[in-house]
A = this chain, B = another copy of it.
Amino acid sequence: MVNGSTRIRILDTALDLFGTRGVGTVSLDDIADAVGVRKQTILYWFKSRSGLIDAVLDHAADELLVVVEAAIRSRGDEPLDRVDAVVCAVFRPVVRRPALLGLIREVTRLDESHINHLRGRLSAVVERCVSYLTSEMEKGRLRTCDPMVLAGLLYSTVSGTGTEPIVLETFGWEPNAAGLRQVRRELRGFVRAALQPN
């Protein structure tokens, strides 16, 4: 019998813990406890801790790619609307699965091999985004600037906003459903203003 359910439960739980507490501070025992299983069961499904990390990164990339690809394909010719759709798409996991962006953001703390692993999974979308921004700038439909750096700025803004509610709270913001809608509204306005051609 091919029992995938344990494997998937481990992946899901690990994603949540890695994403919220940081990869480096979550032990196999922590994950095992949360799943309701022994550490050795994790090591049965995944060769090592490092192997688990790569698998979780894949899992996260899958989840994110689906969302983003759908938004990119969504219709409407106007680039500001299109970028807006992607921003909303990336912001959705912030509400539904906060750990997802938190994990992606962990990339800075990982070592080279895991970084490259994640890069390999995301490079295609990244390239599409940059070339899309480039072409729309050439048509004068976006504020002209360096498209690579702009893509990075957009990523930082959206992911930072989504992964650091604690910072927003420091600025006086209230963490509830209404607050999140407010943040999303402001985020969209911010990005729109930043991209407007002049």
B-facing residues in A98-151 (Cβ within 8 Å): 102, 105, 107-109, 115, 119, 122-123, 126, 130, 143, 145-146, 148-151
Chain B residues lying within 8 Å of A172, measured Cβ to Cβ, are 130, 148
Cα separation A83 to B4 with both chains bound (whole Å) = 53
Q: Take A186-B150, A190-B150 as given contacts and tell me if A170 and B119 are in contact as well, using a CB distance cutoff of 8 Å.
A: yes
Q: Take A149-B171, A167-B155 as given contacts and tell me if A25 and B109 are in contact as well, using a CB distance cutoff of 8 Å.
A: yes
Partner of A168, one of B109, B149, B186, B190: B149
**A122 to nearest B CB, angstroms?**
7
> Is A33's beta carbon under 8 Å from chain B?
no
Partner of A171, one of B22, B108, B115, B130: B130
- Binary flags per residue of A162-194, CB closer than 8 Å to B gives 1, else 0: 011011101111000000001100110111011
Once the chains bind, are B161 and A152 in contact (CB under 8 Å)? yes
Chain B residues lying within 8 Å of A168, measured Cβ to Cβ, are 148-149, 152
Chain B residues lying within 8 Å of A157, measured Cβ to Cβ, are 153, 156-157, 160
> Is A9's beta carbon under 8 Å from chain B?
no
A-B contact pairs, 25 of them (CB 8 A): A22-B109, A25-B25, A107-B167, A122-B170, A126-B170, A130-B171, A130-B172, A143-B193, A149-B168, A152-B161, A152-B164, A152-B167, A152-B171, A153-B187, A153-B190, A156-B156, A156-B157, A156-B159, A156-B160, A156-B161, A159-B160, A160-B160, A190-B194, A193-B193, A193-B196
Which 8 A-B pairs give the minimum distances between C-beta atoms?
A156-B160, A24-B25, A194-B194, A160-B160, A149-B186, A152-B168, A157-B157, A22-B109
